[in-house]
Amino acid sequence: MIKKVEEGWEYTMEKKISVNTVKGAIAIVSALIGSELEIISPAMILLIFLMMVDYVSGMLAAKKEAVEHPGSKKYGWSSKKSIMGIYKKLGYILILLVAVSTDYILYALLGELGVENQLKTVFGLLVTVWLVINELISILENAGRMGVGLPKFLLGILAEIREEIDNYHEK
């Protein structure tokens, strides 16, 4: 049982299934459905849109924190943090390029071998959905930094993800 107190919210959550397991399962199911419906392009457009929203919401959260903590170098907008965020987004695009390229190679190779393959994209859509989930979580975190009250179940999921990240270095 996880019990967290954060910014006036207190909530508990039983840890039954890892959040990463749930994210992975959602990504796999979405990838298979998306492959059948050929929706990788809209998913990529959604990802790019969410990347922009995340970047802007991060800047707004930093500005709000700077107002709340004037004179503190820990809070506020930083060009270094901003550039690092852009590098991270570019890294996402590179990972997506590798995934889509892998799909193309497998699809073309299976076709050359005479193997019938109904799925045109698996890895590309899988990675796109995984990144969309990450962007959504980041946007929620930024909204929380701006003082927006989040539903308790979302706070619970975010708390578990933070705990997983915190415990990663101990493994």
3-state secondary structure 90-109: HHHHHHHHHHHHHHHHHHHH
State the DSSP string of 32-90.
Answer: HHHHHHT-HHHHHHHHHHHHHHHHHHHHHHHHHHHHHSTT-TTSS--HHHHHHHHHHHH
Q: How far apart are CA 12 and CA 153, in angstroms?
A: 9
What is the per-residue pLDDT for 156? 72
Q: How far apart are CA 83 and CA 87, in angstroms?
A: 6
Residue 55 domain-assigned (yes or no): yes
Q: How far apart are CA 4 and CA 20, in angstroms?
A: 19
The single residue listed with the structure tokens 């690092």 is 84
Token output for 116: 């019938």
Residue 9 domain-assigned (yes or no): no
Which residue segment(s) compose the domain that 144 sits in?
Answer: 14-168
Encode 118-131: b = buried (16+ Cβ within 10 Å), e = exposed.
ebebbbbbbbbbbb
Domains contained in the chain, number: 1
Residue 155 domain-assigned (yes or no): yes
What is the per-residue pLDDT for 41? 76
What is the per-residue pLDDT for 110? 75
pLDDT along the chain (171 residues), means of 10: 50 55 68 60 88 94 88 78 89 89 81 72 81 86 89 73 61 53
Q: How far apart are CA 107 and CA 116, in angstroms?
A: 9
Residue 23 domain-assigned (yes or no): yes
Q: How far apart are CA 127 and CA 95, in angstroms?
A: 8
Residue 1 domain-assigned (yes or no): no
Residue 2 domain-assigned (yes or no): no
What is the per-residue pLDDT for 11? 46
* Whether the predicted model's global pTM rises above the 0.85 cut: no
Residue 6 domain-assigned (yes or no): no
Q: Which of 17, 25, 19 is nearest to 155 (CA)?
A: 19
Residue 7 domain-assigned (yes or no): no
